Structure 1
Amino acid sequence: MTRKRYFFLILILGTLTALSPFSIDMYLPGFPAIALALHTTIEQVDRSLSSFFIGLACGQLLYGPLMDRFGRKKPLYFGLGLYILISIGCFSATSINLLIILRFMQAIGSCAAGVAAMAMVRDIFPVKDNAKVFALLILVLGASPMIAPTAGSYLTAAFGWQSVFIVLMSIAILILIAVIFTLPESYENDPLFSLKPVPIITNFISVLKIPQFYTYAITTSLAFAGLFAYVAGSPSVFMEFFHVSGKLYGWIFAGLSIGFVGSSQLNNILIKYYKSEQIVIVALSGQVIAAVVFVIGALNGWFGLYGTIAMIFLVLCGIGLTNPNASALSLAPFSKNAGTAASLMGAMQLGIGALSSFAISLFSSYSAMPMALIMAVSASIALMVLLIGRRNITEKVEADPSMAVAGH
C-alpha cells in the first residue's frame, strides 16, 4: 500500500467515524431557534438529542452482526442511504415529536458509519499499525467538536436551523460516493454466520459474565455520561442562562473540546510510563473531585461564565483520560469475540449517555446545576463500581496499549 493510499483510507475512515459526532455537535447552537420554530421548549428539543443517543446505542448492537454476515459495505450502504433520506425529513419537520422520532432513525443510519470504520481498521491495516491508525482517527474525530458547533452556529444565524440538516445530508452523500468508488470491501460475505437471536444473545451474555469486562465497561459508561450531560446541558447553560450568542456558544464548545481531545492525546504519553488501571483510578478520582466542586459552586453561585467553563474543562479532562483506559481494560480479556464485546460496551456507553441527556431535559432550570449534578453523580457511581468491581477480577488481563491510545 502506497503512503498516499494509506492516508487516503484513513481520511475516509475518519470521516465515517466523525459522521455521528458531526450530527450531534452541528445542531446544538440551533436549540433556541428550533424551540422557537416548533413552539416548544429547549428541554423538549433536548429529547431529540436523547433519542439520537438511543438510536446510536441500538445501532451498535444491530450493525455488528450484520457486518459479520453480509460484509462491511452492504450494511454501510443501507445506513448511509437511510441517513440521507431521514436528513430530508429532519429538514422538513414541523413538530418536536416528529423531530425526536426522525433523529432516532437518523442515528440508526449514522451508526453504520462508525461501526464499519472500526471494523475496517482491523480488516485493512496490519495489527502492528492499528495503534497508529486509531490515534489518527481520533485526531480526525477531534475535528468535530472544534468545527461542527461553530459551523452550525453560523449556518443557523445565516440560513436557519434547517440548513444544518441539508449540510449533514450533503456530507453523507459525499461520504457515500467515496465509499462506493474508493473503499474496498474488507470482509467477505459469511453465509455461515448466524443472525438468529438466541446465538447472538448467548454471545452477549457470555461477555457480560466476565468480571473485568463488566467492571470497566460500566465504569467507562458512567464516567462517559458526564460528556453526554455536558453536550445536552450546554445549550441552555450558555445561551439561556449566560445569554451568549449562538456564534459565541459555538466557539466556547470548540474551546472546551480541547479538554477532552487534548487529554485523550496526552494519554498517548502517559501509557508509556503507567498502566491503564493506574491512570483510570487517578483520572476518575480527579473527575469526581472536579464535578463535586462544580456542584457546590453552582449551588452557591460561585461561578460566573468563565468559572463554569473552567470547571467543565476539568471534568472533560478527567473523562478524556478515564475513557480510553477503562475501555481498553474492558476489552483486554477478549481475543475471539472482541467485536461482540466492543459493540456491547459501545451500546452501554450510549445507553447510559442517553439516560444522562434525558435527565437534563427533565430540569426546567437554565442554571449549570443540573449539568453539574449529573456529572458528579455519574462519576461518583463510576468510582464506586470500579473500587468494588476490581475485587471480583481474579484473572486480570493487561490492556493493549493500542486500544488505550485509541479510546476503544
Structure 2
Amino acid sequence: MNLFKTGLVLGLLSAVGPFTIDMYLPALPEIGRDLDASVTQVQMTLSAFFIAFGLSQLFWGPWADQVGRKLPIYVGIGIFAIGTIGCALAPSIGMLVAMRVVQGVGAAVVMVVPRAIIRDMFTGPQGTRLMAMVMLVISVSPMLAPLAGSGLLAFGGWRLLFWMLAVVAVGSIFVTSFALKETLPVERRRAINLASLRAGAKTLLSDPIFLGLTFIGGFGMASFFVFISSASFVYTEQFGLTEVQFSLAFAANAIGFFGASQLAAPISERFGVVPVIRVAVGIFAFFTTALLLVALAGGATLWTIMALLFCGNAGLGFVIPTTMVMALDEHGEIAGLASSLGGTLQMVAGGLMIAVSSPFFDGTATPMIAAIAVCGWVAMILTLIVLPKITARDRFAAAT
C-alpha cells in the first residue's frame, strides 16, 4: 500500500471520531431545547464522549498489540454503531449522555489503532508526513461535518444526525475490510497480561519525554475541545449566526490548523523538530494570550476571535502531528500501548478542561477564550521543560 493510499484509508477511519463530534455541533442548542436541558448538561454530552473516548484507548491499544490491527477496528466500530443508534433514540439528556459514552468507547479504536499502524510502518519525518496526510483527510470533518449537520437539521432534526452516523459506521467496516491491510505480523504480537501491561505502563509513565510530548499535544487538543463545546452557543447566541453561518465560521477556524499540519514534516526536516515545536507552541501561546487580553478589554468581536484563533491554531498545526510521532519514536515495541496511553491522557485532559470550564460559561466568548489561553500557557510551560531533555538525549545518543 503506497503512502497516499495508506494516508487516505487511515484518515477516513480516524475521521469517524471527529465527525461524530463536529456534525452535531450545530444541533447543540436544539438538543437543549428538545430535551429541556441546560447548556452545562448539553456540554456533558461532549465531555462524556471525550472521557470515554480517552479511557477506552487503554484497552484498544494493548488488544491491538495482541491480535493485530484489524479485528479491534471491527469490534470497536460495532460498539460505536450501537451507541449511535442509542443516541438517535434517546428520550432524555441523561440517556443521550450515556449513549455518548458507548459511542466514545467504540470510536476510540479508530484513534489509537491508526496511530499504531503508522508506527508499524514508519518513524521520524516519514511518520510525521503520514500523520500529516491522515490529518489532511481528517480536516474534512471540521470543514464539512458542521455544514452536513446543518443540512440534515433542516430536513429531520438532530436525531437524523445520529442515524447518518450509523451509516458512517457501516462504511467504516467496508473500508477496513477492503482497503486496509494488517500491519502487525503474528511474530511481533504481544500477549496481554497484567505483568506486561504494568511494565509497559511503568516505562511510559516514567519517561518524562513521552509524558511531556503527550501533554504538549494534549493541551493543544484540549483547546479545540473547549472551543468545540462552547462555540456553537457563543456564535449563535452572542453573535447571532445561523446554523449554516456557524458551520462556515467553525470551518474557517480549522483551516489554519490543518493547513499548517501539511507543512510540519518538510519544515521539521529542514529546521529540526525541536526548534519547530518551540516556535510553534510559542505562536499558539502568544495568539491565545493576545485574544484573552482583547476579550478582557471588551474588544472580542466575531472577526477578532476568528482571526486570532486562526493564527493560534496554525501554530498547533505544527505541534500536534509532530509530538504524536515523537512520543512514540522510542517505544516501537509497545506502540499500541504507547498510542493508547498517550491518547487516553490527551482525551481525558480535554474532557476535564471542558468540565472545569463549563461552570464559568455565561453565554459570552470570554470564558471560552480564557480556557483556551490556559491551554496555551500549560503547553508553553511543558515545552520549556521537555525540549531541553530531548536535546540532551539526542546529544548523548550522538556521543555514544
**Alignment TM-score, normalising by the size of structure 1:** 0.89
Q: What is residue 359 of structure 2 aligned with on the other side?
A: 362
The Cα offsets for residues 51-70 of structure 1, whole Å up to 9 and x where unpaired, read as: 11111111221111111212
Q: Which has the higher helix share?
A: 2
Counterpart among 136, 160, 165 of residue 162 in structure 2: 165
Equivalent residue letter for 1:375: I
Equivalent residue letter for 2:8: L
Cα drift, residue 117 of structure 1: 2.5
Q: What is residue 222 of structure 1 aligned with on the other side?
A: 219
2:146 corresponds to 1:149 = yes
Distance 1:315 1:128 in 2: 23
Distance 1:313 1:127 in 2: 27
Check 1:15–1:121 CA distance in 2 against 1; reply closer, same or farther (3 A cut).
same
Q: What is residue 334 of structure 1 aligned with on the other side?
A: 331
The Cα offsets for residues 219-269 of structure 1, whole Å up to 9 and x where unpaired, read as: 222233212111112111101211211111111111111011011123234
Cα drift, residue 361 of structure 1: 2.2
Q: 1:119-134 to 2 correspondence within 5 Å? A: 119-123=116-120, 130=127, 132-134=129-131
RMSD of aligned alpha carbons: 2.5
2:29 corresponds to 1:29 = no
Equivalent residue letter for 1:255: A
Q: What is residue 375 of structure 1 aligned with on the other side?
A: 372
Cα drift, residue 49 of structure 1: 0.5
2:204 corresponds to 1:207 = yes
The Cα offsets for residues 260-293 of structure 1, whole Å up to 9 and x where unpaired, read as: 1011123234223211211122221222221122
Tell me if structure 2 keeps the 8 A contact 1:264–1:324: yes
Cα drift, residue 331 of structure 1: 3.0
Distance 1:183 1:335 in 2: 21
Check 1:67–1:250 CA distance in 2 against 1; reply closer, same or farther (3 A cut).
same
Tell me if structure 2 keeps the 8 A contact 1:233–1:360: no
2:322 corresponds to 1:321 = no
Q: What is residue 294 of structure 1 aligned with on the other side?
A: 291
Counterpart among 70, 92, 95 of residue 92 in structure 2: 95
Distance 2:112 2:221 in 1: 19
| Runs of at least 5 residues in structure 2 that lack an aligned partner in the other structure | 396-400
Q: 1:5-404 to 2 correspondence within 5 Å? A: 10-123=7-120, 130=127, 132-188=129-185, 193-390=190-387, 395-397=392-394
Check 1:120–1:388 CA distance in 2 against 1; reply closer, same or farther (3 A cut).
closer
Q: What is residue 398 of structure 2 aligned with on the other side?
A: none
Cα drift, residue 155 of structure 1: 0.9
Aligned identity (percent) is 31
The Cα offsets for residues 149-198 of structure 1, whole Å up to 9 and x where unpaired, read as: 11111111221011110111001112213323453444356798332334
The Cα offsets for residues 353-386 of structure 1, whole Å up to 9 and x where unpaired, read as: 1111223322241111111111111211222222
Check 1:333–1:232 CA distance in 2 against 1; reply closer, same or farther (3 A cut).
same
Tell me if structure 2 keeps the 8 A contact 1:212–1:329: no
Tell me if structure 1 keeps the 8 A contact 2:225–2:351: yes
Check 1:121–1:275 CA distance in 2 against 1; reply closer, same or farther (3 A cut).
closer
Check 1:145–1:100 CA distance in 2 against 1; reply closer, same or farther (3 A cut).
same
**Alignment TM-score, normalising by the size of structure 2:** 0.90
Tell me if structure 2 keeps the 8 A contact 1:212–1:396: no
Tell me if structure 2 keeps the 8 A contact 1:232–1:360: no
Give the match's secondary structure for 2:152. helix
Distance 1:216 1:15 in 2: 25
State how many pairs are aligned.
Answer: 395
